[in-house]
Amino acid sequence: MNQQDMAAKIAAANGFIAALDQSGGSTPKALRGYGIEEDQWSTEDEMFDLIHHARCRIIRSPSFANGKVIGAILFEKTMDGTVDGKPVPRALIDLGIVPFIKIDKGLEAEADGVQLMKPMPGLDALLERAKGLGVFGTKERSVINAANPKGIAAAIAQQFETGKQVLAHGMMPILEPEYTIKAPDRAEGEAIVRAEILKQLDALPQGRQVMLKLSIPVVPNFYRELTTHPKVLAVVALSGGYTTEEACAELAKNDRLIASFSRGLLQDLRAHQTDAEFDETLGAAIDQIHRASTQKVSA
């Protein structure tokens, strides 16, 4: 697949994007969920070797290549690694899966109800390296905790500024201003999020497109205007702390919204499973998430 093929595959939205991008701070939690406790490694390198092995196991699994996963988001160390002797992005492309890379370096302390992204030194060099490996796009996450207009405007503006830097390298940014699903004012805040995103989209030059990764809205189809916007390649949803069942039930109520799940995809995978058990478990999750992404129900 070339860049044009990858863009067409994502725009067609006949599947979902797997989020395999747990990084330094979230890796121990991801490993615990996989059944590997912290006493099973002693250095950061050993920790990352364990999570890389888990990700390679997912990529090798026959169910992962059944055509229902159309993209995968990688952590930088995963991007730089190999699976069966191939660079990971190339292995994904060979399976028909579009590779993305997580570029944010974590979150600032909360201010005005949001957590902005920390500075990203060396981002231009990372983008060039990723592009050279065949990576199609990026993902960058900030968090919204309250319906504070000033904070939300700052978070959305920062997302788009970073997105413009990504676009300048000929890559596709996934902008992710995650709204905390347990926030009591989320419905009110999502109206501010939508308005700020539309304002930023209007300011983008003609012919430019971004992707959006958003929490599944409180009101079904609340983001329909974004999913049909000419400057949006696709809108994907995060599972955001929901179980797979909860996330899929909510996602299925939203037309043209496809999944980009992490916990919702991986929650039942365990290191002790046989390869057959692992593939069966992963395949069941993939089927469930694919249905919610492509077969919609009335809210």
**Residues belonging to the active site:** 176, 213
Outline where the chain has alpha helix (H).
3-12, 27-34, 44-60, 76-80, 88-94, 123-132, 149-167, 186-203, 224-227, 244-251, 263-266, 275-294
Dihedral sign for Cα atoms in the order 162, 167, 170, 171: positive
Joined tokens for residue 101: 């890379």
Rounded-to-integer distance, Cα 261 and Cα 69, Å: 11
What number of other Cβ atoms are within 10 A of residue 97's Cβ?
Answer: 24
- Identify the residue whose tokens are 């949803």: 237
CB 135 within 8 A of CB 100: yes
